[in-house]
Structure 1
């Protein structure tokens, strides 16, 4: 979900031996969200050729799935889209007897996921992550004396604090699915409230700090944080890790860090599911089960720097990934994370109007 994904359609294929030439599996995933050798290795292991397309938004993928004949066998929507795809009959229940590696999935994450998919019948997580605060360590210290301010969402929602922060540039990810639950939770309200009055309170809190926000954008903050153009952002953990790596590679003296505030934050998961009319069901299960192999999914995490849901994969993670709390938060932080949920249509429309008003500052 939260890698800087470009709207580029590509196809990655690996050719199998002649006897398996007709075996294929059609996949749709996000850009930059797989290791370079994953598909080649899959073909070598199974004889199945993988065709890999890219979707750049959940909405685009959803519209394709709703037609009922996408030609895809395996797709990766975000977890909060899962419940609506289930209700629409766009994806099918999985036969776990064909997924022996299912046993490797983290039971804690699977339990959280039941919010979107009761009984975990329709899919399993591919990668997961969080939203939090990315910040320039030296600039925060210069303003506040230390980085303690990053421990709380007060850094953004207290007007006096964000006013000081705005002197070095502040941004927020253009993603109401993340920001509105974070705001509601900070205010002591249900993070996915179904009450319009609660969203009015969230609107008031956000409009209060709007003058100090430089911009809202899905990905611009990655380079701006790395280059020192902004000093703080509410964004995705993987994006902040990417910004930190870019700054380090550039040797520009900028240190970027990531914090999940003590009040808690959002947990998102990108899923692996099978469309209702998957044309190559047997091969879809082969690919899904392959993704559940510990070494395979660990290799992907090591490549893209996102956490995977496979408990058995931990031993194959590089120290740089496994020991980074921005990627794998400690248990005490995990307990404060709440999963992103789908909202009732009326509330979703209300949230969209609120977000538009906030961005346009009208």
Structure 2
């Protein structure tokens, strides 16, 4: 009997070769540059034992190209609601979220969820990560030194040739995203920001080409943040949070605080970045765990405190720093939100036409 049991016991005690997935739990995340608090990722790994491999992109075009090719290997991605997230939903490129695995989903602001429901009926494929507006980052003192009567509250400053020429010497830049810039220009022209017909696109192209000689650069949003913080530019068109991040970096570097974010009086484009899971994600269960972790109020507060973009979890407000909670550039007042507008993805042919317009604008011809 002992000759039988001892070999069996020894066999049971031998180390078992586990598959790699059992030995190490990993998720692959693809997010915007400078868009999370690294301490949040460390905390998630400590609590769950799941390692996060974190890659970044700096344009929606880059994200869409990666996902459209298929087999990206990513488990969690962060597309903007329009047009990228909506297109990915329609293409079947995103997995429906399992709400049973996301108890913190219910903590999001219902009004904000309704805003993105047009991109994702029933909010089936995404949770709101962060949101914001598109407007201007300005250094008013430098602008007024060149143009005392500058309209600092309006896109007239940067889209009227006679105005932008007067401040071109102190540096003007625009973020490299036709997806975002063209609707803002159409809205400034008092046209439908959804406009994708030939007449609307010709008008937007003409307006942009008229001021293109005064742009020092058309660059990524991450580059805009760095250049604003160092004082390279006095005026940009970009994302609200990039400008607010630049403010914080400028103060830390002792470069003063003559930098402000302005939502144009004409109204600013409102956007939402979404937490989503690709349809072919290799680790969907752990992806759900990561999204649910991010939606915790104290976690979302830590992210907003770090990156200076608002989140959609009202309970997080109690954990925000006083500076962040009271900053109207981070949490705009109701009247500013009332003037804001949202856009939806145009049909594919119209989107290709917009891309061609943006390419010509970048080339200056």
Q: TM-score, normalised by structure 1?
A: 0.86
Partner Cα distance (2:42, 2:318) in 1: 23
* Other-structure match for 2:16: none
Aligned equivalent of 1:102, options 91, 102, 105: 105
Give the direction of change, closer, same or farther, for the CA distance of 1:85–1:223 in structure 2 (3 Å limit): closer
* Other-structure match for 1:231: 234
* Other-structure match for 1:171: 173
The answer to whether the aligner puts 1:293 opposite 2:296 as a matched pair is yes
User: Do 2:164 and 2:211's aligned partners in 1 also have CA atoms closer than 8 Å?
Assistant: yes
- Secondary structure class of the residue paired with 1:194: coil
Partner Cα distance (1:227, 1:282) in 2: 42
Gaps of 5+ in 2: 1-21
Deviation at 1:296, TM superposition (A): 0.8
Deviation at 1:354, TM superposition (A): 1.4
User: Do 2:30 and 2:57's aligned partners in 1 also have CA atoms closer than 8 Å?
Assistant: yes
User: Do 2:269 and 2:342's aligned partners in 1 also have CA atoms closer than 8 Å?
Assistant: yes
Partner Cα distance (2:256, 2:49) in 1: 48
Q: Comparing 134-143 with 258-267, which one deviates more in the overlay? A: 134-143
User: Do 2:245 and 2:307's aligned partners in 1 also have CA atoms closer than 8 Å?
Assistant: no
Partner Cα distance (2:63, 2:255) in 1: 39
Partner Cα distance (1:34, 1:89) in 2: 27
Deviation at 1:183, TM superposition (A): 0.8
Aligned equivalent of 2:282, options 259, 279, 285: 279
RMSD: 2.2
* Other-structure match for 2:10: none
Partner Cα distance (1:225, 1:114) in 2: 34
Give the direction of change, closer, same or farther, for the CA distance of 1:171–1:40 in structure 2 (3 Å limit): closer
* Other-structure match for 1:207: 209
Give the direction of change, closer, same or farther, for the CA distance of 1:222–1:61 in structure 2 (3 Å limit): closer
- Secondary structure class of the residue paired with 1:37: helix
Aligned equivalent of 1:344, options 325, 335, 347: 347
Q: Comparing 232-241 with 180-189, which one deviates more in the overlay? A: 232-241
* Other-structure match for 1:3: none
* Other-structure match for 1:77: 79
The answer to whether the aligner puts 1:43 opposite 2:45 as a matched pair is yes
Deviation at 1:146, TM superposition (A): 6.5
Paired residue total: 342
* Other-structure match for 1:252: 255
Partner Cα distance (1:281, 1:254) in 2: 44
CA deviation digits over 1:327-349, x for unaligned, max 9? Answer: 21111111222234322122112
CA deviation digits over 1:39-76, x for unaligned, max 9? Answer: 23223333433333334443443344345433332222
Partner Cα distance (1:31, 1:202) in 2: 28
Q: TM-score, normalised by structure 2?
A: 0.86
Partner Cα distance (1:68, 1:175) in 2: 23
- Secondary structure class of the residue paired with 1:335: helix
* Other-structure match for 1:122: 125
The answer to whether the aligner puts 1:303 opposite 2:306 as a matched pair is yes
* Other-structure match for 1:25: 27
The answer to whether the aligner puts 1:241 opposite 2:244 as a matched pair is yes
Partner Cα distance (2:133, 2:149) in 1: 24
Deviation at 1:324, TM superposition (A): 1.6
Aligned equivalent of 1:357, options 341, 360, 365: 360
User: Do 2:107 and 2:315's aligned partners in 1 also have CA atoms closer than 8 Å?
Assistant: yes
Deviation at 1:358, TM superposition (A): 1.7
Aligned equivalent of 1:136, options 124, 136, 139: 139
